[in-house]
Structure 1
Amino acid sequence: EGGAIITEPVGGIPGNFAMVGVFEKGKADVKFTAKSNGGHASAPSKGTPIARLCAFVTEVEKHSPFQKKMLPEVSAMFTSLAPYASFGLKLVLGNMWLFKPLLKAVLPKISAQAGAMLQTTIAFTMQSGSDAYNVIPQEATLGANMRFIPHQGEKESLEIIRNLASKYGLETEIIHSNDYTKPVDIHGEGYRLMEQVIAQTFPGLPSSPYVMTGATDAQFYSPVCDNCIRFAPVVFGPEQMKGMHGLNECIEYNCLPGAVQFYKNLIRAEK
């Protein structure tokens, strides 16, 4: 579970690519609570619970508190994809030593997926307040989902967001949290074997390391596996990406023979 054969993994790089997941970001579900004495909406005071929550969200959205960094695995991904990019993008990706600061600045604007590979992210997903339009709530809550990057892992990222929330008088509760998984050695035997089997099964298909911005059950293999590689040998085109965790989630049935052959080749290669 994890990476797959993805169509146009980054805007401006057309075609199919075997994107091999080499680690996954950590994640947390976090609840922020703002409290007050409540009151009637006809005489509102400043700094109501919802107003403070909104101010907190606005600051996080406009000025992310998390650092952007081009990890070795992300640099390797762009280096692998560079030969297949359009001329302008190929020039940038093929000269990372020069354009890395530019990429760090523009990637989040070009692609949310690519931008998430550079930093810890936070998405605000749930909110509750008063049960009536004319009542200021005594308590309002906000739920968020965070994804941790290795250079600012679970502990540091949570401390950053907790400190920022306290600036607005918010309480922070960690509902669930786990850190990022150990990265695969992209120069090691396991990863090279995966590249060979992909090339054998899908001749001409380029492969690339890939940072998993989502969470998978593969994380539970990490304690017993030095190189936990995440790759499903099926095609995820635009329709599949659009339907992921949504309406009409599916894979094309005609890619299944290739998937079966991939696992046959992998089993033979490991003997």
Structure 2
Amino acid sequence: MRAISAALLAAAAAITATGAQAQTRQLRPDQQRYRALLKEMVETNTTVTTGSCTDLATKIAGHLKSAGFADSDITRFAVPEHPKDGGIVVVLPGSSKTLKPMLLLGHLDVVEAKRADWTRDPFAFIEEGGYFYGRGVADMKAMDAIWVDAFMRMKEEGYRPKRTIKLALTCGEETTWAFNGAQWLAANRPELIAAEFALNEGGGGDTDGKGKLIAQQLQVGEKAVQNYRLETTNPGGHSSVPVPDNAIYELAQALTRIQAHEFPVELNDTTRAYFTQTGTSRKDEVGAAMLAIVRNPGDKAAEAILNTDRGFHSMLRTTCVATLLEGGHANNALPQRAAANVNCRIFPGHGVEETQAKLVAVIGDPKVTVTLVPPVRPLAKTPPMDPKIIDPMTTLSARYFPGVPVVPAMATGATDGIFLQAIGIPTYGVPGSWYDPDGNGAHGLNERIEARGVYVGRDYLFDLIKAYAG
């Protein structure tokens, strides 16, 4: 039986390898090189526990030097306390003395992935059924590889842009307590990444889950993320003589009040544009509700319809949710302490202290303390809907994705763009590669991205960079 199983596995592997080779042969030479670069990136572990962004940054620097970049064009950075969390900044100088630089931003780190939970090895780059599989292919190594590949191609072509183009690939975006390279650059080397604007993750195409591209999103703004610790304490005692004052019960009541609380509906320029354009294109109840909420944010009937979609629900307000729980110290003792982490995604324009005060008011119990959990991120700022930025994206999109609308959207999560916004660099998530409605397994199991979408997105973004750079 073991011999038969081994033979079957070997045969399956041979079929998969043959299929991958056939797919590779159909690619243009430049696409084959890009695919090899993406494979290397995915197969370089960059998780915060066992991986190293520094190793991947070293490999990237080697590719850029081979393409013709000088050492003076490349800046490697890391701090002694976090030697594995290094990053890289690269500059392609422009000819204009008046145009300000543009910046391409990406993070090299990925979320943890356990081999036992995955169908495939998360750190093996696998192409199967028209998809690339592996940790980071969707978030966001496919885009990282597009940025690096674009720099290599431009250098090898002898392309000299009018506008200086900068590339910053950093570590720490996926883990709030880790060293964050984008934050460090903004605080310690702002001149290195100074730019008129930046292009980042957060945009991209939406499909209907059946292969049809229905929209291209342009991310304009994002929520701020902040964690809060809720804690209750009590003298405790023997569990055989319980008392009404119980740390676990008090914490549970506080969490129940947060669960029941809805932050009010809010709109800004980005979300108004999103709901207006998306609502106009939809001919259903949801589309009508989108238009109604734009006309009147207090329309409870429209809000109720939109709240049935968790993405729309989050886009309309600040959200706070319990994510971690701890409490008690023995099976036969009354709890002396209970605590929970509440993760908030804060609508632009509201501060972390303001949200903290709101949580205290919602809980309404002085026995429950609410404290900020470091790090405290900058206040979320929404970049302007600047035609100089928006128009090239929509013009190129019409060529690459005819009939597909480009819709501005606010990210309900958070990216490293928040650190650039804080130092005056408007940051936008670009259209390009597309994603399925289920999120493609990003941060979860069996992460994937459609190969065709990556190749088309790569060509689109290469032309977009040149459109901005001149």
| TM-score interval for Structure 1 and Structure 2 normalised by the shorter chain | 0.7 to 0.9
- Stretch of structure 1 that moved more, 121-130 or 144-153: 144-153
2:204 match: 4
In the alignment, does 2:351 pair up with 1:153? yes
2:271 to 74, 99, 103: 74
Alpha-carbon distance, 1:51 to partner: 0.5
- Stretch of structure 1 that moved more, 108-117 or 178-187: 178-187
Structure with bigger RCO (C-alpha 8 Å, 6+ apart) = 1
Distance 2:448 2:214 in 1: 18
In the alignment, does 2:391 pair up with 1:192? yes
1:52 match: 250
1:215 match: 414
CA distance change for structure 1 residues 36 and 226 in 2, over 3 Å: closer, same or farther? same
1:28 match: 226
**Count of matched residue positions in the alignment of Structure 1 and Structure 2:** 265
Distance 2:208 2:424 in 1: 30
Normalised to the residue count of structure 1, the TM-score between the two structures is: 0.87
Q: Deviations over 1:73-130 (max 9, x none)?
A: 2121011112321343444434542576236631563112111112111110111112
Question: Superposed, which structure 2 residues align to 1:156-175 within 5 Å?
Answer: 156-165=354-363, 167-175=365-373
2:285 match: 88
In the alignment, does 2:316 pair up with 1:118? yes
Contact 2:289 2:305 in 1 (8 A): no
Alpha-carbon distance, 1:223 to partner: 4.3
- Stretch of structure 1 that moved more, 163-172 or 29-38: 163-172
Distance 2:296 2:372 in 1: 40
In the alignment, does 2:404 pair up with 1:205? yes
Alpha-carbon distance, 1:185 to partner: 1.7
1:233 match: 432
Distance 2:351 2:208 in 1: 29
- Dislocated runs of 4+, deviation >6 Å: none
Distance 1:237 1:118 in 2: 22
Q: Deviations over 1:132-166 (max 9, x none)?
A: 33222111111111111125332311221134446
CA distance change for structure 1 residues 164 and 130 in 2, over 3 Å: closer, same or farther? same
Normalised to the residue count of structure 2, the TM-score between the two structures is: 0.52
Distance 2:436 2:369 in 1: 42
Q: Deviations over 1:189-217 (max 9, x none)?
A: 21222222222222222111111111112
Specify the SS of the correspondent of 1:169: coil
What amino acid maps onto 1:2 in structure 2? G
Distance 1:89 1:113 in 2: 13
2:295 match: 97
2:331 match: 133
In the alignment, does 2:260 pair up with 1:62? yes
Specify the SS of the correspondent of 1:238: coil
CA distance change for structure 1 residues 152 and 179 in 2, over 3 Å: closer, same or farther? same
Contact 1:70 1:104 in 2 (8 A): no
Alpha-carbon distance, 1:187 to partner: 4.8
CA distance change for structure 1 residues 19 and 107 in 2, over 3 Å: closer, same or farther? farther
What amino acid maps onto 1:7 in structure 2? T
What amino acid maps onto 2:321 in structure 1? A
Distance 1:192 1:127 in 2: 47
Contact 2:356 2:371 in 1 (8 A): no
Distance 1:123 1:140 in 2: 17
Contact 1:69 1:118 in 2 (8 A): yes
Gapped regions of structure 2 (runs ≥ 5): 1-200
Specify the SS of the correspondent of 1:152: coil
Contact 1:129 1:139 in 2 (8 A): yes
Q: Which has the higher Rg, Structure 1 or Structure 2?
A: 2
Contact 2:228 2:373 in 1 (8 A): yes
Distance 2:453 2:213 in 1: 16
Alpha-carbon distance, 1:242 to partner: 5.5
Contact 2:441 2:448 in 1 (8 A): yes
Distance 2:269 2:427 in 1: 17
